[in-house]
Homo-oligomer: A and B are copies of this chain.
Amino acid sequence: MKFEAVTIKHIAQELGLSTSTVSRALRDSHEISQATKKMVLDHAKKVGFKPNRIAQSLKERKSLSIGVIVCEIANSFFSQVINGIDSVAYEHGYNVIIAQSMESAERELMNLEYLTSSSIDGLIISVSTETKNFSYLKKLHERGLPIVFVDRVIDEIETHKVIADNYKGAYKATKHLIERGYKKIGILSNNSGLSISQERLEGYKAALKEANIPFRENMIAYCDHGGMLYSEVETAMKMLLKQRVKPDAIFAGSDKITTGCLRFMKHKNIRIPQDLALIGFSNTDLTELLNPPLSVIKQPAFEMGQASASLLLSLIESKRPQTKFETRSQSTELLIRKST
Set of chain B residues within 8 Å of A1, measured between Cβ atoms: 144, 146, 315-316, 318, 320-322
**Is A24 on the interface with B (CB-CB < 8 A)?**
no
Name A74's closest neighbour in chain B (CB-CB).
B79
**Is A57 on the interface with B (CB-CB < 8 A)?**
yes
Q: Give A73 to B114 CA distance when docked, in angstroms.
A: 22
Segment with Cβ contacts to B, from A210-218, A259-267, A324-332: A259-267
Given A266-B289, A286-B290, A321-B1 in contact, is the A96-B98 Cβ separation under 8 Å? yes
**Is A143 on the interface with B (CB-CB < 8 A)?**
yes
Complex contact B97–A65 (CB within 8 A): yes
A residues engaging B (CB < 8 A)?
A: 1-4, 50-55, 57-58, 61, 63-65, 72-76, 79-80, 82-83, 86, 90, 95-100, 113-114, 116-119, 121, 143-146, 259, 262-263, 266, 284-286, 288-293, 315-316, 318, 320-322
Min CB–CB distance A211 → chain B (angstroms): 30
Show 20 A/B contacts (Cβ-Cβ < 8 Å), sorted by A.
A1-B316, A51-B117, A53-B119, A54-B54, A73-B73, A73-B86, A74-B79, A74-B82, A74-B83, A75-B79, A79-B79, A82-B98, A90-B99, A95-B97, A98-B98, A259-B285, A266-B289, A286-B286, A286-B290, A290-B290
Complex contact A86–B65 (CB within 8 A): no
Min CB–CB distance A326 → chain B (angstroms): 16
Set of chain B residues within 8 Å of A113, measured between Cβ atoms: 50
Besides the known contacts A1-B316, A97-B97, A98-B98, 19 further A-B residue pairs in the complex with CB atoms under 8 A apart: A1-B146, A1-B320, A1-B322, A2-B144, A3-B121, A3-B144, A3-B145, A54-B63, A65-B118, A72-B83, A73-B82, A73-B83, A73-B86, A74-B83, A82-B98, A83-B100, A90-B99, A289-B290, A289-B291
Min CB–CB distance A139 → chain B (angstroms): 8
Name A262's closest neighbour in chain B (CB-CB).
B289
Set of chain B residues within 8 Å of A259, measured between Cβ atoms: 285-286, 289
Name A266's closest neighbour in chain B (CB-CB).
B289
Q: Give A205 to B286 CA distance when docked, in angstroms.
A: 30
Set of chain B residues within 8 Å of A315, measured between Cβ atoms: 1
Set of chain B residues within 8 Å of A90, measured between Cβ atoms: 99, 114
Set of chain B residues within 8 Å of A320, measured between Cβ atoms: 1
Q: Give A292 to B80 CA distance when docked, in angstroms.
A: 26
Complex contact B3–A143 (CB within 8 A): yes
Complex contact A79–B73 (CB within 8 A): yes
Q: Give A1 to B143 CA distance when docked, in angstroms.
A: 10
Min CB–CB distance A189 → chain B (angstroms): 21
Name A82's closest neighbour in chain B (CB-CB).
B73
Q: Give A61 to B4 CA distance when docked, in angstroms.
A: 10
Set of chain B residues within 8 Å of A118, measured between Cβ atoms: 53, 64-65, 95
Min CB–CB distance A175 → chain B (angstroms): 26
Name A338's closest neighbour in chain B (CB-CB).
B291
Q: Give A266 to B287 CA distance when docked, in angstroms.
A: 13
Given A1-B318, A82-B73, A289-B290 in contact, is the A54-B119 Cβ separation under 8 Å? yes
Set of chain B residues within 8 Å of A55, measured between Cβ atoms: 58
Set of chain B residues within 8 Å of A145, measured between Cβ atoms: 3
Min CB–CB distance A84 → chain B (angstroms): 10
